[in-house]
Structure 1
Amino acid sequence: MPNDRLRDALLRNGLTPTQLAAAIDVDPKTVERWITRGRTPYQRHRHAIAAMVRETESYLWPDAVAPERATEIAESEVVKVYPHRNSIPADLWDRLLNDAHEHVEVLSLAALFLVERPSFAKQLATKAKSGAKIRLLFGDPTAAEATKRSQEEQLDKDTVAARIRNALAFVRPLLKVPGVEIRLHGTTLYNSVFRFDDEMIVNTHVYGFPGAHAPALHLRRLSAGDLFETYSESLESVWRDATPYTG
C-alpha cells in the first residue's frame, strides 16, 4: 500500500524523492519504494525524514513502533499533570505563547481565561504577520451543545453561550489578520486542546465540573510519540467539520 502521508509530507515541504534520497544518503529507488510500496525505513532514516518534513514518525509510519515502545514514548511526552487547569502557572501560558513561532491552535468552547488576557489577540496578530499559522476553534453559541454544557455544569442554560460570545468579541479583530482562521464547532468536547508549536495543554472535561477545575496535561511532542499526535488529529477532525466564523 502506498504511503500517502509520506508523499504528502514531501510535497508540502517542497521536497522530491531524489532530494530526500540525497539528504539522507540512500538510493532514490529506495525512497520510491518507501512511498509507492509502503516500505518502512530503518529507524535512523525514519528519524531524519520526520525531522525534515516536520511530522512525527508515528504519523508517517503508524505501525513502525512496537506497542510496548510506543507506551514508553507516550509517558515521556507527558511533561506534567495538573490536578486542575487553574493550577497551571500563568508564566507557563506566557512562555508557551511567547515561544510559539509556527503554530497556535485552540480547540475549546470559550477559553475565556486565555482570550481575555490583555495581550492575547495582539500577540496572535504579531505571530501571524511573522508567518505563524493561527487556528482558533470555539463552540457555536447557538448549538445545542452549548446549552447542554451549561446544564451539565448546573448553570443557567445560556451561560456557556454567553461565555462563547464574550470570547468571540475578544478575537473578532483577528478576522482581518492574514494567517488567522477562526471557526465555530458544535461537537461534544471531551478535551480542550491548546497547541503551541510542539507543546500542548490538554484540558480534560469531567462531567459536572467546569474546565478550570478539571485536570490538564502538559505535553511535548516527540518524533516517535503517539500521544501528542492523537490530540492533534482530534483537533484536525473538529476543524474539518467546523464553520468559518465571519463576525
Structure 2
Amino acid sequence: MRTAMDGHRTPRPDTAQLLADALGVPVTDLWPFTGVRPGLDAPTVVSRVFPARTEIPSAMWREVFTNTRERIDVLVYGGTFLFDAVPQFTRIIDDAAARGVRIRFAVGDPASAAVHARGVEEGIGLALAARCQMTLTRLIPVARLDGVEVRMHGTPLYTSMFFADDAVYANHHIYRQPAGDNPVFELTRDAHETLFGKYADTFEHVWATGTPVVPHPH
C-alpha cells in the first residue's frame, strides 16, 4: 500500500479502487486522473476515456480551461455542471478572455423542440429547458467581454463538446441517460486530425446556425 500511495506512480485501476474503498473515499480523491480508464483494447487515437462525465475531477476541468491559449468552444444543452462543479468557472472564462482566448458557448434554446424532446427522453420534462435558461443567464456577464460569444441552438444534440485549443472532450449521449452519466472521450488533433476535424466541423455547423445572444449593456 505504501508503494501505491507514494505519489510517484499510479496503481492499476482495480488496485486503486480497492484502496479507495478501504479508506472510504472516492478513487479520484486519491488519484485525480485514475478515473480515466482506457477502453478495451482501445487504439491510441483516443487519449483517455471517462466512463461518465461525473468521473472527471473538477480540478481537471479547471486545469484544461485555465491552460488554454487560443480557443475554448462549448456545445451543450444545459451545461450547468460547469458553474456548479468547476470552482470559479466564470473567473476562469474572464481570465481566458483577458489573455486573448476566443471563447464560444453554444447553449440549447430553452424553447426549441429538440430541448423539449431531450427533457422527455431523460424523464425530467421541462427541467432541461430550465437548465438551458439558467446557463444563458449565468453567461450574460461573460458575454459582455471582448472575445466571448454566446449563441442558442435547437439541434438534436448527440454529443456535447468541450474544446480547449487542440483537444476536445466529447460527451456522447446514450439514449435516455443524463449527460453526466454518459462517457467522455478525450481526443487531440495530433492523435487523429481527421476525427478531430469531424467534431470541429460539427461544432462549426451548429454555431453557424445558432441564434446570437446579445446581452443588454449595463
Q: Shorter-chain TM-score: what band? A: 0.7 to 0.9
Q: 2:69 is paired with a residue of what secondary structure?
A: coil
Alpha-carbon distance, 1:91 to partner: 2.0
1:166 to 108, 115, 134: 134
CA distance in 1, matches of 2:194, 2:45: 9
Matched pairs, number: 173
CA distance in 2, matches of 1:164, 1:221: 29
Deviation by residue 1:31-82 (Cα, 9 ceiling, x = unmatched) = xxxxxxxxxxxxxxxxxxxxxxxxxxxxxxxxxxxxxxxxxxx943311111
1:231 to 172, 181, 199: 199
Structure 1 residues 175 and 224, CA gap change in structure 2 (3 angstroms):
closer
Alpha-carbon distance, 1:112 to partner: 0.6
Superposition RMSD on alpha carbons, in Å? 1.6
| Kept in 2: contact 1:77–1:225 (CA 8 A) | no
1:185 to 146, 153, 158: 153
Structure 2 portions without partners, runs of 5+? 1-41
Q: Which structure has more helix as a fraction of its residues?
A: 1
Alpha-carbon distance, 1:170 to partner: 1.5
TM-score, with length taken from structure 1: 0.67
State the match for 1:206 in structure 2: 174
Q: How does 1:1-247 map onto structure 2 within 5 Å?
A: 75-116=43-84, 117-155=86-124, 157-222=125-190, 225-247=193-215
Q: 1:226 is paired with a residue of what secondary structure?
A: helix
| Kept in 2: contact 1:145–1:187 (CA 8 A) | yes
Amino acid corresponding to residue 100 of structure 1 in structure 2: T
| Kept in 2: contact 1:77–1:221 (CA 8 A) | no
Structure 1 residues 140 and 240, CA gap change in structure 2 (3 angstroms):
same
Deviation by residue 1:194-221 (Cα, 9 ceiling, x = unmatched) = 0011111100011110000111101122
CA distance in 2, matches of 1:165, 1:111: 10
Q: 1:134 is paired with a residue of what secondary structure?
A: strand
TM-score, with length taken from structure 2: 0.75
CA distance in 2, matches of 1:183, 1:142: 14
| Kept in 2: contact 1:77–1:228 (CA 8 A) | no
State the match for 1:47 in structure 2: none
| Kept in 2: contact 1:147–1:158 (CA 8 A) | yes
